[in-house]
Structures are given as C-alpha cells and as structure tokens.
C-alpha cells in the first residue's frame, strides 16, 4: 500500500548539469609504509600533469558518465585508459575487479611502461582499506576533483 501510494505521487527533483574538474592527483601509500603516522600521511600529492602524462590508467571508478572521464584523462596526457565501463554508478569494486586491475598494471609495468590504477575520491572513501592494500603492489592514484555547475537548476 505504501509503494502504490508513493508511485501515485509526482515526485520533484532538482536537475543540474555538472562536470568533474580534476585539480590534483594523490598517490596512495601502502598500508605498511614507514612514514604513516595519521590519515594525512596515507598519500602524497602529485602535480596532475606529471602524474598522468604517458601513464596507462586502469580506472576502478563507479561514476555515472565513465566515457567523459576517459576523454578527460586522455586530454590530460594519459597514454591509455581502460576499465571505465567496468563498474556502474556507485558500485564498489569486488575482489575480481581489484585483481584484474592489479594484473593489468603489473603487466604494463613489466613492459617498462608507466601504469597505475585510478580511482575517485568517492571510490576511495567507500573502500579505503582495499585501495591501500592494492597500493602495496601497484601504483594507485586518487583523482581529486571539484564540481563545476554547467546549468541553472530546474525543477523536473
């Protein structure tokens, strides 16, 4: 009865077009890193252009528009971007996705290429321990972004 009551009501939502604007890249430190004294010591900030230039990125990002992220990363200097459609919006990485990303990055590094796993701040917040464990074996970058509003809010 409650569901049919909700379905018969017209719900309103505010719709705003927005875009992620990358502003920094953090490289995660492995959990056993000697310099870790607090949560602030768990990563190091890298210049965004230097961090991404020529890097094969394996994305483990649960975002709504992964193709836009892929285009953005390539325009910022990444040599190759994979994995952008492996997860749906808000999905967490399972063991299989983490292992696949580790294997792909390890293979690229063994060929003498620069490679890293890339996640967003939102992904990091949901699975912090998993990503620090992954950072014990391969580079893991956190893309720090701001949100730019592209349109005025409208009621839908």
The 3-class secondary structure across 101-128, one letter per residue, is: HHHHHHHHHHCCCCEEEEEEHHHHHHCH
Model pLDDT for residues 89-118, shown as the tens digit of each residue: 666 788 999 999 999 999 999 999 999 999
Top-confidence residue, 120 or 65: 120
**Cα maximum dimension of the chain:** 62
Q: Is 4 domain-assigned?
A: no
Model pLDDT for residues 121-130, shown as the tens digit of each residue: 888 988 888 9
Top-confidence residue, 87 or 56: 56
Model pLDDT for residues 15-30, shown as the tens digit of each residue: 666 667 777 898 998 8
Q: What angle do CA 54, 71, 122 make, to 5 degrees?
A: 90
Give the pLDDT of residue 2: 43
Q: What pLDDT band is residue 153 in, cutting at 50, 70 and 90?
A: low
Q: Is 135 domain-assigned?
A: yes
Task: Identify the domain containing residue 58 by its residue range.
Answer: 16-33+42-151
Q: Is 38 exposed, middle or buried (0-12, 13-18, 19+ CB in 10 A)?
A: exposed
Give the pLDDT of residue 3: 43
Note the pTM of the prediction, 2 decimals: 0.76
Q: Is 6 domain-assigned?
A: no
Q: Is 1 domain-assigned?
A: no
Q: Is 11 domain-assigned?
A: no
Model pLDDT for residues 35-64, shown as the tens digit of each residue: 555 455 567 888 888 899 999 999 998 777
Domain count, the chain: 1
Backbone angles phi, psi at 19, to 5 degrees: -140, 140
Q: Is 3 domain-assigned?
A: no
Q: Is 10 domain-assigned?
A: no
Q: Is 105 domain-assigned?
A: yes
């Amino acid at each position: 009865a409650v569901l049919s009551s909700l379905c018969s009501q017209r719900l309103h939502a505010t719709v705003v077009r927005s875009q992620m604007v990358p502003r920094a890249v953090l490289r995660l430190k492995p959990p056993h890193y000697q310099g870790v004294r607090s949560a602030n010591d768990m990563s190091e900030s890298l210049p965004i252009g230097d961090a991404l230039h020529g890097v094969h990125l394996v994305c483990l990002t649960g975002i709504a528009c992964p193709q836009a992220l892929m285009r953005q990363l390539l325009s910022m200097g990444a040599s190759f971007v994979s994995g952008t459609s492996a997860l749906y919006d808000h999905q967490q990485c399972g063991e299989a996705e983490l292992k696949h990303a580790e294997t792909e990055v390890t293979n690229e590094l063994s060929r003498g290429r620069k490679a890293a796993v890339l996640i967003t701040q939102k992904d990091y917040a949901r699975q912090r321990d998993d990503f620090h464990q992954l950072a014990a074996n391969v580079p893991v970058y956190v893309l720090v972004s701001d949100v730019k509003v592209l349109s005025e809010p409208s009621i839908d």
